Structure 1
Amino acid sequence: MARGSEDPFALFDGAQRYRSYHENAGEPNSPSAGLPAPGHRPVEDTTDGAPASVRPLRLASPPVEPSLPEVAALPIAATGVPAAPRRPSMFRRRRFPTADDRAALAAHEMRVRQWTSARSRNVLIANTKSSGKTITCLVLGGVLASIRGGSVAVTEATPMAGDLAARAEGCPDLGLGELVRVIHDVRSIGELSAFTAPQSSHATVIGSPSVRGPLRAGDIVAVRRLLDTYYALTVTDTANSTSENAFGAALSSTDAVVIPVTCSLASIRGAYNTLQAIYERRSQSSLEQRVVIVATRDGGPEDPALRAEFLPRLQQLGHPVIEVPFDPALRDDSRELSLSDLSERSRYAWTAVAAAVVDALSTAPGDPLIINPSSSENGETTNRTTHLGG
């Protein structure tokens, strides 16, 4: 075609072929279909050496993506696209505590602060190893003391020295082992304070800062009687085995039991063993009605199915089950534990535990569980508590 042609595509060798794509695409029976346009050189077929005619190119319609109903929409992670991590908004990060949380906290603190009793009360922390007994003992005693302004003693009823003194604040020179040797000579709170470790929560810890001999059942009862004289509340850590004589003596002289349990088979078995030991004494003081379960988290791997199975079973037994969140300050055993180290969520949860414990203590019998041997007159024993402060 001449350079001055009106068709601008005539300058290119494939102009006629381009025109045939569009003019003959929808006319397969057209006379010019499949024939080369004038002035166009046919495309040679290199397969057999014979010239091949230029056939029209049929453009298929673009494929249509199959549509899925909304309910069948795949998540991003399933489509091969990595899910971008979502950072919680400022509103969600600051949502806790809500107004309801603060109202519940105030109600729990009021119940703990206003609780009174005609005699001293004792709370036993019981389960097997690796269930957080010592931490529960320190935190619960600290929360109770901080709300009530003191008059809470934290001690242990373990045959051998436990970890109570190692996790508590302070490094006293004397402890439970030395106190047992001179326990019958202590006549004042000042003399008793020489064996204690005061805490920033206003609680008083009487642990074992040094190696001591094993505690017998009589030693545990004597310690309980002395602490009842000067403290309104006593929180006691126990041994790992429920068959120990020390555990039996502590269980027979307590008003309520707190069982901390983690999501592990060993801890769950220990919780059921503790409950079994408590149920065997149901005819004596109905202690099984004053058991509080604390479901703790230690930061280790958990089986959701296991947790979903055993927590409802414990609730079916009629015991209150209170869950507390994981707190790194409680797991770090390389330093002293202070109540101020707890996170805000943790403090709210442990205050709820303290309120549940106080509710359980309110239903304990009014008669003293330990009889003062000096109150026997004419061969008859008179029930008289040794507590002096009410």
Structure 2
Amino acid sequence: MTDSSRGIASDVFGGAARASQYIEEDAKRPRAAQQPAEDLGELAALEPDVATDSPLIAAPPWSSAAVTAGTSLPADSTSVLFGGPAAALTVADPGKATKGFRGAMARLGLPVKPGAGEVEARRVESVRLAAETVVRQATWTRAVSVLVNNPKGGTGKTPTAVILAGVLASIRGGSTAVLEVSDDPGALGYRAEGNPKLGLGELVRDIDQVKTAGRLHGYTAPQTSFADVIASTGRRDRLTGDAVVSVCKVIDEFYGIRVMDSGNVTTSSAFQGAVSVADVLVIPVMNAGDSVLEAIQLLEELRAAGGQPKRLADTAIAIRLTDGRPENQAVSDEVARLLHEAGVTSLHEVPYDAHIAERQQITLSKLAPATRDAFAAAAASVVTSLKNSVSTEH
């Protein structure tokens, strides 16, 4: 982060840079107001690689920016995230109403157009189907991996890893593993479903004996999303970079996608090992100065290292979560501007979700529809970046 950027940021963030070690507790009330859809139109229309002077981050057409946080989904949604079969995905005729009184009149043969609510519901459905299609149809010639990190604690790394992996697994039909790569036991085992007897510590111990998918499965916590979590089940030895690489090598033999939930110490051996076996970096942020400043510092450190770390920084994707605390629009705009200047080309907005705020086990089906939409959009950006990353190897 440049000196000039730090100076401008300090005008908005106040003492954020001095509070990098302080983690506030999540508030329990929902966000008071959501950003109107019309304010996001320009953001949704931008391609990821289009240069712009706007403080908003460019995002692909399926970005969650195109879906407002307050949008309700139709009760008969055919999204696979809501239990609908992929074969049933269709888009209604935009010129004819199908819902409510208007729909009844249209079925009688009258030329009744859909109302504003139905038009918006169709738009939301269209955006979601586009994102799901991108995720479902993406293919690679090897196993791929996603590293979730922000050095600032309390930014939602673990929920992001669990939900992102869950969405990928739900849409693609499984073959997604979530791995804890923090030095010491983190919160992944606590936030994931289930209470397995064996986990990461035991897997590291037994890694040389794991030769089959059945054996590896014994160290996982299967999720209702079809993702498999490999986390600590208790105390374990401090994780090393060599252990991370060894475990990832075995996981990649049996899973198509690996999502890594990391810790807060970016200079640790475990984090460096995770960086060496990652294809895409996802950075969770909050609308707070310390959150974005440490994210930018991470990007600077990775770029300074060159090679693989620099490539991760240059293709990083940001996911902005909301924990329920009152938010200042000036801070929100400044977060987006600073991330854009730091080279982040895709920023996805996730609305407040009471299920995430509970800090208990996360179940994909218990998330609000808008939350799942937002993560589906983020997943589409992730798989697009993964495809680009793997294609450059040939």
Give me the TM-score of the superposition, normalised by structure 2. 0.67
Kindly tell me: are residues 244 and 95 of structure 1, through their superposed partners in 2, closer, same or farther at Cα, counting changes over 3 Å?
farther
From the superposition, tell whether residues 166 and 260 of structure 1 become closer, same or farther in structure 2 (CA, over 3 Å): same
Higher helix share: 2
Q: Is residue 2:355 matched to residue 1:332?
A: no
The answer to whether the 8 Å contact 2:287/2:332 transfers is yes
The CA distance in 2 between the partners of 1:96 and 1:200, in whole Å, is 32
Partner of 2:110: none
Deviation track 1:67-103 (CA, whole Å, cap 9, x = no partner) reads xxxxxxxxxxxxxxxxxxxxxxx99996696211111
Counterpart-to-counterpart distance in 2, 1:339 and 1:97? 24
Return 288-297 or 255-264, whichever deviates more. 288-297
Shift of 1:245: 1.7
Contact kept in structure 2, 1:327 and 1:342, CA below 8 Å = yes
Tell me the equivalent position of 2:177.
153
Q: Which has the higher contact order (CA 8 A, sep 6+)?
A: 2
The two structures have a TM-score, normalised by structure 1, of 0.68
Matched to 1:289, the amino acid is D
Deviation at residue 264 of structure 1 after TM alignment: 1.7
- Alpha-carbon offset, residue 121 of structure 1: 0.4
Aligned to 1:236, which of 250, 257, 260?
Answer: 260
In structure 2, C-alpha distance between the alignment counterparts of 1:97 and 1:134, rounded to whole Å = 32
Task: Return the offset for 1:269.
Answer: 2.1
1:222 counterpart = 2:246 = yes
- Residues of 1 paired with 2:289 and 2:344: CA distance? 21
Question: Per-residue deviation at 1:289?
Answer: 3.0
Contact 1:151/1:203, CA 8 A, preserved across alignment: yes
Post-superposition Cα deviations, 1:18-53, rounded to whole Å, max 9, x if no partner, equal: xxxxxxxxxxxxxxxxxxxxxxxxxxxxxxxxxxxx
**Which residue number in structure 2 is paired with residue 107 of structure 1?**
130
Map 1:55-204; keep pairs closer than 5 Å: 98-127=121-150, 128-204=152-228
Secondary structure of the structure 1 residue equivalent to 2:265: coil
5+ residue gaps, structure 1: 1-89, 369-382, 384-390
Aligned match of 1:319: 345
Matches within 5 A, 1:247-262: 247-262=271-286
Amino acid at match of 1:305: A
Q: Report the 3-state secondary structure (helix = DSSP H, G, I; strand = E; otherwise coil) of the residue aligned with 2:389.
A: coil
Q: Answer yes or no: is 1:345 the counterpart of 2:370.
A: yes
- Alpha-carbon distance change, 343 to 96 in structure 1, aligned in 2, over 3 angstroms: farther
Q: Which residue matches 1:39?
A: none
* One-letter code aligned to 2:369: E
Per-residue deviation, residues 330-360 of structure 1 (Å, max 9, x unmatched): 1101x32100011111111110000010111
Q: Once the 2 structures are TM-superposed, how far is the Cα of residue 362 of structure 1 from its aligned partner?
A: 1.0
CA contact (8 A) 1:169 1:198 kept: yes
Asked if 2 retains the 8 angstrom alpha-carbon contact of 1:242 and 1:273, the reply is no
The structure-2 alpha-carbon separation of the partners of 1:318 and 1:262, relative to structure 1 and needing over 3 Å to count, comes to closer
Q: Equivalent residue for 2:89?
A: none
Residue matched to 1:372? none
- 3-state DSSP class of the match of 1:213? coil
Q: Which digits, 9 at most, give the CA deviation of each residue in 1:171-230, with x for residues without a partner? A: 101100010001011010111111100000000000112111110110000111011110
Structure 2 match to 1:272: 296
User: What is the Cα deviation at residue 268 of structure 1?
Assistant: 1.5
Match of 2:383 in 1: 358
CA deviation map 1:275-313 (0-9, x unaligned): 122212443462233210111111123232221112122
Does the 8 A contact of 1:294 with 1:323 survive in 2? Answer: yes
Which residue of 2 is the match for residue 42 of structure 1? none
Cα–Cα, structure 1 residues 272 and 96, in superposed 2: closer, same or farther, change >3 Å? Answer: farther
2:140 match: secondary structure = coil
SS at match of 1:182: helix
> Counterpart amino acid of 1:270?
E
Choose from 269, 276, 287 the match for 2:312. Answer: 287
Cα distance in 1 for partners of 2:261, 2:191 equals 13
C-alpha distance 96-213 of structure 1, shift in aligned 2 (>3 A): farther
| 1:367 to partner: Cα distance | 8.2
Which range is displaced more, 348-357 or 306-315? 306-315
The answer for the alignment partner of 1:206 in structure 2 is 230
Runs of 4+ in 1 over 4 A off after TM superposition: 90-97
Matched letter for residue 124 of structure 2: D
Contact 2:194–2:221 under 8 Å retained in 1: yes
Quick check: 1:242–1:277 contact (8 Å CA) kept in 2? no
Taking a change above 3 Å as real, the CA distance of residues 132 and 200 of structure 1, as seen in their structure-2 partners, is same
